[in-house]
Amino acid sequence: MEKSRAARPFIGGAVYHLACRKGDIGKYVLMPGDPDRVDKIASQWDSFRVVSEHRQYRVYSGVYRGVEVTACSSGIGGPSTAIAVEELAQLGAETIIRVGSTGAIQPGIECGELVISTAAVRLDGASKQYIIPEYPAVASYEVVLALIEAAEQLGVRYHVGITASTDSFYTGQGRPGYGGFQQSWMESILRDLRRARVLNFEMEAATLFTLCSIFGLRAGAVCAVYAQRVSDEFEVKGEDEACRVANEAVKILHEMDEEKSRASKRFWHPSLGSL
C-alpha cells in the first residue's frame, strides 16, 4: 500500500472512507445504496465475513456459488458513490454492479419488477467533476448480458433501457419540494424524459457508469421498482429479486471471464460459450 498523503489518504494501511485494505475486496463488487441491503445480498452467499463499517459504507466479502464477491454500500447519491468507486478501484475491484431501488416513469413497469440499465442520463453533479457532460454514461455490455441472463434463469420480470440519475430525490425527479416549491423545468422533466423513452429515475448509476468507463472497469445496475410515477403508486418490493439477480450475474460474469481466458480473448461473444 502506498504511503498516506493528503492527495490520497490512508489510515493504518486502509483507504480512508471504506476502511478496507488490499486483499479485503474481491474483483466482483455489488454496490447497494442502503447499508442494510449489504446484509440481504450476503445472506444469499455460501459464506461471508464483515470487512468494515465506516460512515455509510458497509463492506462484506464472501463466496457465492464458488465465486469470491464483495458487497459495499454507497450511500445515497453521486458524491458518495464516486468515493466508493475511487477506493474500490484502488483495492482491485474490476466489476461493480449497482443493486438499488428506482422509480419507473414509463407505463407497463410495475412495482416489484426490475430495471436493468444500459446507460444513464447524467443529471448528477459528481460525474461532471470528472469529465465533460457530453461523455456518455454507459454500462458494460457484458454486465448487462449477465444481468439479463440471471433474470431469465430466475424467472424474474425485468425491463432493459436507459435510466436517469439525479442528485435530488424530490425536485430533481419532478416532485414538489417542501411547501410545494417547484420551478417550470421541474414540471416538464418527467414528461420530457418519458418522451425520450427513459425508463426510470434513480441517483447513482450515472456516476458509477461514468467513473468505471474512465477507470477501465465494468459497471452495471439492476434496480427494484418501488415507485410507479405514471400511476402514482409506491410499494417497497422486489429487493430480494434484485439481490438474487445481481448475485447470479456475478457467477455468470465469472464464467464469461473464464471462457475469455481459455480462448485468449479480451471481449466475450456468444460463440465462446452458452450463457
Q: Which CATH number covers residue 223?
A: 3.40.50.1580
Query: What is the per-residue pLDDT across 176-226, written as a single tens digit (0 to 9) for each?
Result: 999 999 999 998 999 999 999 999 999 999 999 999 999 999 999 999 999
Instruction: Decide if 107 is inside a domain.
Output: yes
* 201: number of Cβ within 10 Å: 26
What percent of the chain shows pLDDT beyond 70?
Answer: 99
Domain count within the chain: 1
Instruction: Decide if 228 is inside a domain.
Output: yes
Cα separation, 5 vs 3, in Å, equals 6
Domain that holds residue 97: 10-261
Instruction: Decide if 150 is inside a domain.
Output: yes
Residue 254: active-site member: no
Band of residue 8 on the pLDDT scale cut at 50, 70, 90: confident
Instruction: Judge whether residue 77 has pLDDT over 90.
Output: yes
- Cell, residue 97: 454492479
Residue 218: active-site member: no
Instruction: Decide if 267 is inside a domain.
Output: no
Annotated catalytic residue, options 17, 58, 122, 159: 17
Residue 229: active-site member: yes
Annotated catalytic residue, options 21, 53, 86, 175: 175
Annotated catalytic residue, options 37, 58, 87, 113: 87
* 189, HSE (Cβ side, Cα atoms, 13 Å): 21
Q: Mean pLDDT for the chain? A: 96
Residue 21: active-site member: no
Q: What is the DSSP string of 131-168?
A: S-TTS-EE--HHHHHHHHHHHHHHT--EEEEEEEEES-
- Cell, residue 275: 450463457
Query: What is the per-residue pLDDT across 154-180, written as a single tens digit (0 to 9) for each?
Result: 999 999 999 999 999 999 999 999 999
Instruction: Decide if 236 is inside a domain.
Output: yes
